[in-house]
Amino acid sequence: MRFGFKRVDGLPKVHIQTNGKYLIMKEDKHETISNISLIINGLDHILFELERKNSSYFRIAKESHLVLSRMMVEALKGSDNASIIGNPHRKKFKIVWGDIDFYEAVNCKVEGCAIAWRYSKPEICEEPINASTKKYKPQSNEKLVSFYHLLAMIQNEDFMKWYIISKPISVTDEEMKKLEWLHESIRNDYEHFIPKYKSVKNSNLIMASSICFKISKKLLTESGNIFPTHFDKKDIENQFEKIIRILGKT
């Protein structure tokens, strides 16, 4: 048996010769992966699950959490991801250079939530140590901020204001409470799974999932920050509407 390489139509292909015959093995194709393509893929999986005879609302809830996380990232990332990566405990300072005023937004508790929080309205503060640095430069080893940071940031105008048409998304205290339950009791509990039995009401899973999809749709259509490339924005919106409609009838 002999191995050889031959370029066919401009692409290298592997040839294996055995008994005077060649078997042609084509190179693998590449799949292009983006945040938006993963969101669409997730919606496809959710629709498939909803159309099954015995839908798993637990799976739908986990997928809805992931879709919301990616939609929040898409709405907040800007041009260089600077606001969504780095030390998850660092505070956002808005510096007004003209008047040399410094403003600070801090974490505020949400009624009924043990962990979830919002940012306060910016208040004047002392000059920060890094005031001379106009723009935060993310380091290569930094990671995406937490789900709760993303959730707080989409409700804050300072983080969402990338364009003149940009605006934050409102999330009620009750919705925050449901999202905290979804993140802690469903996503986190089974992301680090220890085999066990657990009973969860379908109604709670459906409600939490619906909240994820409604907020995700608002981010897509109302935030003014999401402009999908290579995908039809209306098609994505239609998928959200279909899922919300099906869950509403369940």
Per-residue pLDDT of the chain (250 residues), as tens digits, is 444 444 545 545 555 555 555 555 566 677 888 889 999 999 999 999 999 999 999 999 999 999 999 999 999 988 778 778 876 555 554 444 445 677 777 788 999 999 999 988 777 777 665 544 444 454 555 688 889 999 999 998 888 988 999 999 999 999 999 999 999 999 888 777 777 788 899 999 999 999 999 999 999 999 999 988 778 899 999 999 999 999 999 8
**What sign does the CA torsion over 233, 206, 68, 193 have?**
negative
Same domain? 45 vs 70: yes
Dist. CA 105–CA 98, nearest whole Å: 19
Q: Which helix (H) or strand (E) holds 25?
A: strand 21-25
Same domain? 161 vs 225: yes
> Is residue 24 a part of any domain in this protein?
yes
Same domain? 171 vs 216: yes
Same domain? 7 vs 79: no
> Is residue 21 a part of any domain in this protein?
yes
Tokens of 178: 């449901």
Dist. CA 159–CA 52, nearest whole Å: 39
Length of the chain: 250
Tell how far CA 82 is from the center of its chain: 15
Same domain? 229 vs 160: yes
> Is residue 96 a part of any domain in this protein?
no
> Is residue 236 a part of any domain in this protein?
yes
Dist. CA 187–CA 73, nearest whole Å: 18
**What sign does the CA torsion over 164, 152, 172, 108 have?**
negative
pLDDT of residue 75: 94
Query: 244: how many CB neighbours lie within 10 A of its CB?
Result: 16
In total, how many domains does the chain have? 2
> Is residue 138 a part of any domain in this protein?
no
User: Pairing relation of β-strands 93-96 and 117-119?
Assistant: unpaired
- 3 state SS of 124: strand
Same domain? 79 vs 7: no
pLDDT of residue 99: 56
> Is residue 26 a part of any domain in this protein?
yes
Same domain? 167 vs 216: yes
Dist. CA 220–CA 227, nearest whole Å: 8
Same domain? 155 vs 217: yes
Contacts of 192 (CB under 8 A, 6+ apart): none
For the chain, what percentages of helix, strand and coil (3-state, to nearest 5) are there? Answer: 40, 15, 45
Same domain? 7 vs 67: no
Same domain? 20 vs 38: no
Dist. CA 85–CA 145, nearest whole Å: 5
* Report field, pTM of the whole predicted structure over 0.85: no
> Is residue 140 a part of any domain in this protein?
no
C-alpha distances in angstroms, 100 versus 61, 161, 224?
46, 21, 29
> Is residue 210 a part of any domain in this protein?
yes
Structural domain including 15 reads: 1-30
What is the DSSP code (8-state) at residue 129? T
pLDDT of residue 132: 44
Query: 232: how many CB neighbours lie within 10 A of its CB?
Result: 10
